[in-house]
Amino acid sequence: MEIETKVISIETIKPSSPTPKSMQKHQLSFIDQIFAPVLMPLLYFYSSNSKFPRFQISNHLKKSLSITLSIYYPLAGRLVGNLHVDCNDAGVPFAEAEANCTISRAVTNPDPKNTYKFAISPKTLGLCMAVQVTYFRCGGVAVGISFSHKLGDALCAFMVAKTWSTTAGDSQPKFNAAAYFPPRDNIHAVPEPSMREDLVAGIFSFPESEIAGLRERCSSVGGERRPSRVEALTAFIWTRLMGVRSEPGKKCALLHLVNLRAQVDPPMSKHNFGNVIWQSRANPGAGDDGERRVCGWVEGW
């Protein structure tokens, strides 16, 4: 049975306290300006808990979201072109939906095609954030946070989710990325990516023990230092992709998005809000040996 969701209600949640007039214009940085105005989905799944009926869950989420929006006030505003956010407290759409399945059906061997069934459409222009809460037949709940890439990167989305879950963040966000990366005139965002029929998306899960084994294997080969989890897993996936590609002579590149908060001088706060990321690109050298070496620790695999 195909997973389907049906929206049963939608309302607008506004900040619990108004944004001061002096803070009602949030300037986009030039990195913010580059990104397409799409909403990125972040999904959280929660198993059934009979202690909390649906109406209580709904009311608590709305109240805590309102408090969160008073802290992350640009999220309740509206984008103005490719220049800034009008922090006018217009609010965030809050939709509630019902799914035709249990939560185990949704999280077991998840299909990326179902992502936006648990989140508001990414093509809702002008919005900075949207929320959809989906109730499963078993009593489980999915909370889908759709976050505008114009305002920030994935770390920012996690910051918002963490604050919402506690309704009291351990540190206030800093909305001054434009001071580090000043906006530019006549800069255009990258076009919204189109989903071609020949593209295939998948989700792969790796047990923690297997990743630890990859790190040890990389250390024994490289010898200089123990790679991070991301480095070891990236090296492993890259070599496998190079081994199965159908056109051996075709040029390939490996791209990673790098968090710049600790890289600038002086370092930015880890709570700095915005797209504080940039691409790191690796191109393999000539021949198979260069391809094996592209990630540093994969020689001999």
pLDDT digits (tens, 9 = 90+) for 26-68: 999 988 998 888 888 899 999 988 888 899 999 999 999 999 9
The fourth-level CATH superfamily of domain 5-180 is Chloramphenicol acetyltransferase-like domain (3.30.559.10)
How many CB atoms sit inside 10 A of residue 26's CB?
25
> Structure pTM?
0.77
Residue 93's SS3 state is: strand
d(Cα 242, Cα 226) in Å, to the nearest integer? 23
Which residues are CB-contacts of 189 (< 8 A; sequence separation ≥ 6)? 33, 34, 35, 36, 37, 82, 150
Alpha carbon 22 to chain centroid, angstroms: 29
Q: What is the mean pLDDT of the chain?
A: 83
Which pLDDT band holds residue 238 (cuts at 50, 70, 90)? confident
Residue 190 structure tokens: 């990258």
pLDDT at 121 exceeding the cut of 80:
no
Residues 125, 126, 132, CA angle at the centre, nearest 5°?
70
Residue 119, CA atoms < 13 Å, CB-side half-sphere: 24
Tens of pLDDT, residues 246-288: 676 677 778 788 888 888 888 888 888 888 888 887 776 544 4
pLDDT at 1 exceeding the cut of 50:
yes
Which candidate, 21, 150, 19, places its Cα nearest to that of 91? 19
Asked, colleague to colleague, whether 5-180 and 209-293 share their fold, the answer is yes
Place of tokens 């695999």: 301
Q: Where are the domains of the chain?
A: 5-180, 209-293
d(Cα 154, Cα 275) in Å, to the nearest integer? 8
The CATH code for residues 209-293 is 3.30.559.10
Which candidate, 29, 122, 134, places its Cα nearest to that of 74? 29
Which residues are CB-contacts of 140 (< 8 A; sequence separation ≥ 6)? 45, 46, 47, 48, 102, 103
Torsion of Cα atoms, 254 then 257 then 258 then 261, to 10°? 170
